[in-house]
């Protein structure tokens, strides 16, 4: 019966970690979901004057289940799974916003002007709905060539430039929240902060904070 409900929710999707069926709303089977929940490590940290909030501290190779989840969430038709993890994120970071003026949220930049949305936009859209935040979508696309996630950490730093999709003028007052699935060097966050006009109040909300290693990882 559990497998039948899984098929009704996701179609014929297997667990990205073990390949089994009976996939839960998390996108994982129950056993792999339990493993990933044991790795929950919600953190609030300061990064270059901003606040970074995350659910997992991720080191590739330490957990196949967590690595498989992060890769699997980048697939198609994952909105339900992103909603699930947004709810988990909200439970652990509930009350973080306070009552200090308007809150604007955006997702990590898209790869091109023609992109309509991706995993980062699904993630931040779900979080924004839960917190009644003003979601602005992905107002930028990447202007540099190459795939950022395939670069070495040294090559990632300092080279990312963004292009506005519109001539929109962004508000300087209020809190800006950037949503991304994984934060590694912070180069995407730096580029977004710069493109927004360097607002004084800026946060990054990510599912996983990848700990530094020099080897590029295809996630």
Structural element, H or E, at residue 3: helix 2-10
Positive or negative torsion for Cα 104, 109, 115, 118:
negative
* Cα–Cα–Cα angle for 189, 58, 150, rounded to 5 degrees: 60
Average pLDDT, the chain: 81
Query: How far is Cα 117 from Cα 77, in angstroms, rounded to an integer?
Result: 12
Q: Place 2 in a pLDDT band, splitting at 50, 70 and 90.
A: very low
**pLDDT for 134 beyond 60:** yes
Q: Place 118 in a pLDDT band, splitting at 50, 70 and 90.
A: confident
| pLDDT at residue 180, rounded to an integer | 94
Distances (CA, A) of 60 to 47, 81, 130, 212: 21, 21, 29, 10
As its CATH architecture, domain 40-210 has: 3-Layer(aba) Sandwich (3.40)
DSSP, residue by residue, 153-192: HHHHTT---EEESS-PPPPSSSEEEEEEEEESSSHHHHHH
Above pLDDT 90, what percent of the chain?
A: 49
| pLDDT at residue 1, rounded to an integer | 47
Within 27-105, where are the H helices? 30-38, 64-72, 79-93
| pLDDT at residue 112, rounded to an integer | 62
pLDDT, tens digit (0-9, with 9 covering 90-100), for 74-99: 988 899 999 999 999 999 997 766 66
What does the pLDDT average to over 91-115?
Answer: 77
Q: Place 218 in a pLDDT band, splitting at 50, 70 and 90.
A: very low
| Every domain of the chain and the residues it spans | 1-38, 40-210
Phi and psi torsions of 25, nearest 5°: -60, -20
What does the pLDDT average to over 9-22?
Answer: 81
Residue the block writes with tokens 């409900």: 5
Residue the block writes with tokens 């297997």: 14
| pLDDT at residue 153, rounded to an integer | 47
Tokens of 109: 């930049």
Structural element, H or E, at residue 130: helix 119-131
| pLDDT at residue 158, rounded to an integer | 53
94-108, 114-128, 129-143, 171-185 — most confident range = 171-185
Above pLDDT 70, what percent of the chain?
A: 74
């Amino acid at each position: 019966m559990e497998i039948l409900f899984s098929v009704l929710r996701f179609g014929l999707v297997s667990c990205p970690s073990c390949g089994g069926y009976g996939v839960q709303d998390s996108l994982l089977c129950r056993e792999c979901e339990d493993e990933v929940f044991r790795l929950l490590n919600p953190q609030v940290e300061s990064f270059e004057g901003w606040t970074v909030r995350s659910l997992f501290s991720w080191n590739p190779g330490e957990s196949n289940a967590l690595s498989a989840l992060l890769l699997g969430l980048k697939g198609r038709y994952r909105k339900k799974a992103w909603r699930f993890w947004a709810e988990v994120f909200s439970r652990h970071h509930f009350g973080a916003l306070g009552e200090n003026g308007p809150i604007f949220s955006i997702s990590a930049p898209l790869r091109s002007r023609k992109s309509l949305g991706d995993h980062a936009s699904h993630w931040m859209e779900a979080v924004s709905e839960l917190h009644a935040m003003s979601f602005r979508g992905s107002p930028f696309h990447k202007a540099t060539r190459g795939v950022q996630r395939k670069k070495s950490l040294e090559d990632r730093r300092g080279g990312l430039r963004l292009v506005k999709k519109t001539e929109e003028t962004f508000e300087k007052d209020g809190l800006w929240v950037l949503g991304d699935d994984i934060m590694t060097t912070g180069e995407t966050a730096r580029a977004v902060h710069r493109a927004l006009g360097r607002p004084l109040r800026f946060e990054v909300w990510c599912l996983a904070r990848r700990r530094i290693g020099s080897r590029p990882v295809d996630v």
